[in-house]
Chain A
Amino acid sequence: MIATNIRRLSVYLVLAFASVSGALVWWQVLDAQTLAARQDNPQVIATRRSLPRGSIFDAQGRLLASSAVTDGISRRTYTDPAFTHVIGYASLRYGATGVERAWDDLLTGRTDPNPLRDLLNDILARQPDPHDLTLTIDQRLQDFAAAQLGADRGAVVAIDPRTGAILAMVSTPSYDATGFSGDPATAAAAFDAVAAMADNPFLDRGRQGHYTPGSIMKVLTTAAALDTGVITPQTTFADQPQQEVDGFVVNGFTIREHDLGKVTPALWDLSSALQVSSNIYFAHVGLELGADRYLDYARRFGFCSGLRLGDEGRSLPVDASYVSAQADGGCAPFTDTVELASAAFGQARVSVTPMQMALLAATIANGGLVPQPYVVRDLRSHAASGAVTDMILETYGGGRGNAAVSSQVAAQVRQAMIDAVDGPIGRLYAGAGAVARFGISGVETAGKTGTAERGPGLKPHSWFIGFAPAQEGAQPAIAIAVIVEGGGTGSGHAAPIGGAIMAEWLKLIGAGA
């Protein structure tokens, strides 16, 4: 009796051992490939420790990042801290960020752009070749922009409006990632030192900084209102002059004008209102436009969802910008007309990234088409010498953007922005961003300053967006967004930085004199 039961038991035990064996076959044979491909697999990490990694160059072929394998450890060297936020770091200990992360498989050669060779590498288990990257950014402009920001906290994003190529993308303060991109044993000290620094240097303010935009938002409001036909450049609001003094009562809440300084309120048209940066005027425009259309146009310009620098395959992510509160990853409906009217001049719950605001300027500069921004220009074969090669394997960018507004409307907004820089009142404010003040003659600048109020006791953020050359018939070569955190007025701080950088770029490419 017991003997019979034991024999039956033995069958169950065999079944149990067989199940464990089956699971072993699954993990050790059938699923082994999948496990081996996972990034946190120590085998992958161990291989990476000793693998050469491709170099990264600026648009002119200047070396920005390179690797050398010494003592069996792949150590990365970065030449220019102004690029740290764009390039990121490839640390054996802390993982990768920025371009190093998004293009990791190509830099290490884990993926080959040629699918056939990729397959062959896989089958033959060949040691893949690393690849090099060329950025769209010119080191001269990047360094210039970083120097302009200096010790300030802030960001500069400059785009070629015709192509979407990023010309400069700087976030300050920055840091040198070389210290923790080499030997993992000594990485902690270097990393902790950066982490302990003030003002969070790890934050890429261009892509991840969320700021109240203030008056630069009026560019979006203008474009949307003109495109829907709610206003024309000649539109005036009869109540506006008196409301500049008494305030504009919306839904029981009084919206007040900012300090107009020496300017006397008058019945302003679009150009004058933008020059003076009248909050009352744009509150009226926002209310005329209505919540639905405002949100619709915001989305057309890229607001309310994350942006990416690059294509579907590989890109640097950019945090979403919002014109209202966040909801389900997008923009929530406006709670009331007060919020809408305030958003129309860039206050309330509007929260934007410098990248998005540069894209707004670039879209106006590009005749209403939203450029598709990208920061990696091409992929090349790697030379052990560290010099840039001519073997281009893949090129990126050049995607045609969608139209946010018509080219006529873009031209009207452009004219209003030229007036904001060069008009009789405007030159007192955004005039500080004119390239003419930085040694470029015969070139008009379009721009808008912003002074983003942050609440009592806090110095406002200083903003400037603009582009040049802006005169009729000219093709703008650079569009820019500048923010200086707590920098005070836009005209006082951000505008001259923006003007200087645009002028520098025009000099570098030989446009204007």
Chain B
Amino acid sequence: MQAVPRPLELRLLLPLVILVPLGFAVTHIAQTGTLDIGPMGIAVGYVGLMLGAHVALRLVGNRGDQLLLPCVATIGAIGIIMLNRLPQNLLGTDVFGVRFGMATTQLLWFAVGLTAMVLLAGRFRDDGVLRHYKYTWALAGTLLLVITFLFGKEVNGARLWIDVGPVAFQPGEAIKVVLVVFIAAYLAEKRTLLAGASAKVGPISVPPLPYLLPMIAIFVIVMLVVVISRDLGTALLFMGIFLTMLFVATGRRSYVLLGLLLFVAGSFVAYQLFGHVRVRVDNWIDPFVDPSDRGYQTVQALYAFGRGGLFGEGLGQGLPTISGHLPIPALPTDFIFAAVAEELGLIGAFALLALVMCLVFRGLRTAILAKDDFSAMLAVGLTVSLGLQTLIIAAGNVKLVPLTGITFPFVSYGGSSLLACFVVVGLLLAISHRSVVDAQIEGRGP
């Protein structure tokens, strides 16, 4: 391990040194008319963490993509500024009797996440652990899901949480990474078989089922547990990740179409069978039918978008709170995008989406440059998990698809989600590092 320079990363992180404290100051002046020094600690802490992560990446000798961390840091900055500007007692954690407010809690999770990211980026050199034990991983992940479903803590009608000491954790977030690892390992191994062979049923070419069966079996089990746990957003996300990776591995659009058809059919059945699915879909079709009850959050989110307009109402000047309480109860998690769009306007919402796109494209670039199929598939899966998650929740906020409760990566409040996202970035940095190093070795080769 040898320290390496990461000059581009540093240069891109430096603006945050000014922008994040400025954002905190602006929201505070807008809300209270005075400049409160207290929360400024969170701003300084945030910038410090990001710069610290940069230094740590240099120290562990990671030569990976230098745009990933700045993208994440800027996206996260928008998130923490928004979270800090909301009533702090809304969410938060009690750890051994000490009460942490929402922004403080989120900052702590940033610290945990960044540590995980740096460790993975620096230490993760041998992917064999992931590749060879793919079934073990998948099995362990599924087991964790089942345990959560059976013994977890129920929040809002879904049992997705498990208590680990003083901290509640959402195993669904971890499964996301594990699932990607499994599918990547499987597809990398069977890719040539899958791409070559295909059976034909009439004019339609269907996937060679025998080759796919083990993977589909695992995937179906995971999906079943997720669906039974009523975690619709995660189900949609997993389906998207699965189909995208299948497409990248085989290049066959027909597989994706077939999968989508099955998904639509399944959704239709779910609509008929489950009340909570019906509520979501009906709300999506017209939330204004019942704007004060069932359609309430969706309608309020649309109002927030409308109020934002082109340039936004300004940081701290929006209406996320009405006489002290939130019009949208799930604002810090499911609807943070609406809050950003309200205060920063269409311009700000576009900027946020552009940052995510930048992150996604750097991730896809990492996949293209990867030296082996597994790394490439892993990078694609991890990247797509971030991209699709953003798309699903953003599209849900703007009523393009039915709303499902998943987080906006790096922006929404939530420790498990944040940690999982940083694990993704850490793995991407590791993959990127290896391809850079390999390229250099080849360049120097005989």
Contact = CB atoms under 8 A, between A and B. Distances in A.
A69 interface: no
Secondary structure at the A interface, as helix, strand, loop or mixed, is helix
B391 A16 contact: yes
A17 interface: yes
Contacts, number: 119
B138 interface: no
Nearest to B299: A40
B277 to A, nearest CB: 22
A6 B364 contact: yes
Contacts of A32: 305-307, 309
The winner among A16, A20, A38, A184 for most chain B CB atoms within 10 A is A20
A46 interface: yes
Contact of B248 (A5, A17, A40, A41): A5
A133 B244 CA distance: 64
A38 B353 CA distance: 28
The winner among A1, A9, A34, A40 for most chain B CB atoms within 10 A is A9
Interface stretch (B140-148, B260-268, B344-352): B344-352
Interface in B357-387: 357, 360-361, 364, 367-368, 373, 376-377, 380, 384, 387
Nearest to A26: B398
A27 interface: yes
A388 B265 CA distance: 66
Contacts of B327: 42
B248 A42 contact: no
B14 interface: no
A40 B289 CA distance: 13
Contacts of A41: 303, 306-307
B244 A43 contact: no
Interface in A32-53: 32, 34-36, 38, 40-43, 45-46
A29 B400 contact: no
A185 interface: yes
B248 A28 contact: no
Interface in A1-26: 1-10, 13-14, 16-17, 19-21, 23-26
A28 B341 contact: yes
A183 to B, nearest CB: 10
A31 interface: yes
A35 B302 contact: yes
Given A20-B353, A32-B309, A36-B306, A2 B345 contact: no
B52 to A, nearest CB: 31
Contacts of A29: 309-310, 346
A42 B319 contact: yes
B13 interface: no
A interface residue count range (under 10 / 10 to 19 / 20 to 34 / 35 or more): 35 or more
Contacts of B300: 42
A405 B292 CA distance: 47
A28 B353 contact: no
Contact of B398 (A3, A27, A43): A27
Nearest to A37: B306
A24 B367 CA distance: 30
Contacts of A31: 306
Contacts of B191: 2
Nearest to B370: A2
B319 A46 contact: yes
B231 to A, nearest CB: 22
B92 to A, nearest CB: 24
B308 interface: yes
A28 B361 contact: no
A24 to B, nearest CB: 5
A10 B248 CA distance: 10
A27 B302 CA distance: 7
Nearest to A39: B291
Contacts of A23: 395, 398-400
A9 B248 CA distance: 7
Interface in B265-300: 291-292, 299-300
A17 B368 CA distance: 21
B33 to A, nearest CB: 14
Nearest to B192: A1
Contact of B247 (A9, A21, A46): A9
Given A2-B373, A185-B323, A24 B341 contact: yes
B77 interface: no
B232 interface: no
Contacts of B322: 42, 45-46
Given A6-B368, A9-B247, A35 B303 contact: yes
B303 A43 contact: yes
A305 B306 CA distance: 39
A20 B303 contact: no
Given A28-B310, A42-B319, A42-B327, A9 B244 contact: yes
A223 to B, nearest CB: 44
9 contacts: A2-B368, A10-B361, A13-B384, A17-B353, A23-B399, A24-B305, A34-B306, A36-B307, A40-B291
Given A24-B305, A42-B300, 9 more contacts: A2-B373, A2-B380, A5-B251, A6-B380, A13-B360, A13-B391, A29-B309, A32-B309, A34-B306
Give the 5 A-B residue pairs with the shortest CB-CB distance, closest first.
A35-B306, A23-B398, A27-B305, A32-B306, A28-B346
